[in-house]
Structure 1
Amino acid sequence: MTEVSRMVDAPPESVFAVLADGWSYGGWVVGSSHIRVVDEDWPAVGARIHHSVGLWPLQIEDESTVVVMEPDQLLLLHAKAWLFGTAAVEIALLPRDGGTRTLVRMREHAVRGPGKLLPERVQGWLLRPRNKESLARLADIAVGRRATSRS
């Protein structure tokens, strides 16, 4: 399982608010280029985000589905990646500094399809840089929204 983490200068509820906004998914998930539909009950278990991956005109339409959701603490998704199969993506929010900051931990691994045949070391080599950038974007959105709401 590939794991990356990042300290965010915002409380868990601020970070989770970004995760709970399915329309923001394309802004922080590297590779997701267009959000087509977000189920009304997102991020409830079973809710889906229908998104496109890749650059136009070579986009692939896929979806991500919530498997587990604990408000302000955890989101576990099954993200389809067309050719590569499906990945389990766990985003855990761990309060730090009395709840004023959040350690965000993202774990990902292939659970179905051809991607599952790749050794974990290769999966990590492919996923780690992408997921680090995704967490940097998530942090920027969470901190930026928080700063805007306090103004």
Structure 2
Amino acid sequence: MIEAEVTVTVAPERAFAALADGWLYASWVVGASHIREVDPGWPAVGTRIHYSLGLWPLTVQDVTEVRAVDAPRMLDLEARLWPVGSARIRLDLDEVAPGVTRIRMTEHAMSGPGQLLPNAVQGLLLKPRNQESLGRLSDLIIGKSRAAT
């Protein structure tokens, strides 16, 4: 299981609000280039974000589906990327001090060729990408927080 984390100086509710806006997904997920649709009710269990990955014109279309949610503390996703397979991605938000939230992302391959790679190799490939994604998410959360005040 690959782990990455970031700490933001906002309450968990504010941090989770960025995750709850599916239209922002391509703004922070490295590789996602275009959101085509967000199911009504996102991030309820079973709802999906329909997106494209890659650079135009070489894009792949797929979906990420909510497996479990406990707002504002946790969002558990299954991200699909044909033909690579799918991955389980869990985001845990913990208030470590008043108005300070640690966001921890864990990921592991669920299906496809990525599942055959040892965890150490998956970590070498995915940890930098996940850390960059969380850095982008942090900037987005802080920017939205400043705009709201």
TM over 0.5: yes
**Does residue 46 of structure 2 align to residue 39 of structure 1?**
no
The residue aligned with 1:143 is 142
Name the SS for the 2:83 alignment partner.
helix
Runs of 4 or more, structure 1, over 4 Å off, are none
The residue aligned with 2:124 is 125
Q: Give 1:143's aligned amino acid.
A: I
The residue aligned with 1:94 is 94
Name the SS for the 1:35 alignment partner.
strand
Residue by residue over 1:48-86, the C-alpha shift from the partner in whole angstroms, topping out at 9 and shown as x without a partner, is 000000000000001000000011100000000212100
Q: Give 1:114's aligned amino acid.
A: P
The residue aligned with 1:59 is 59
Q: Give 1:56's aligned amino acid.
A: W
Percent identity between the aligned chains?
49
**Does residue 72 of structure 2 align to residue 72 of structure 1?**
yes
Structure-2 separation of matches of 1:125 and 1:84: 17
Tell me the number of residue pairs that the alignment of Structure 1 and Structure 2 aligns.
Answer: 149
The residue aligned with 1:84 is 84
* 1:113 CA displacement: 1.1
1:18-37 superposed matches below 5 A:
18-37=18-37
Q: Give 1:91's aligned amino acid.
A: L
Name the SS for the 1:54 alignment partner.
strand
**Does residue 10 of structure 2 align to residue 15 of structure 1?**
no
Higher strand share: 2
Structure-2 separation of matches of 1:9 and 1:81: 32
* Runs of at least 5 residues in structure 2 that lack an aligned partner in the other structure: none
Name the SS for the 1:45 alignment partner.
coil
Normalised TM-score (structure 2):
0.98
Structure-1 separation of matches of 2:34 and 2:121: 27
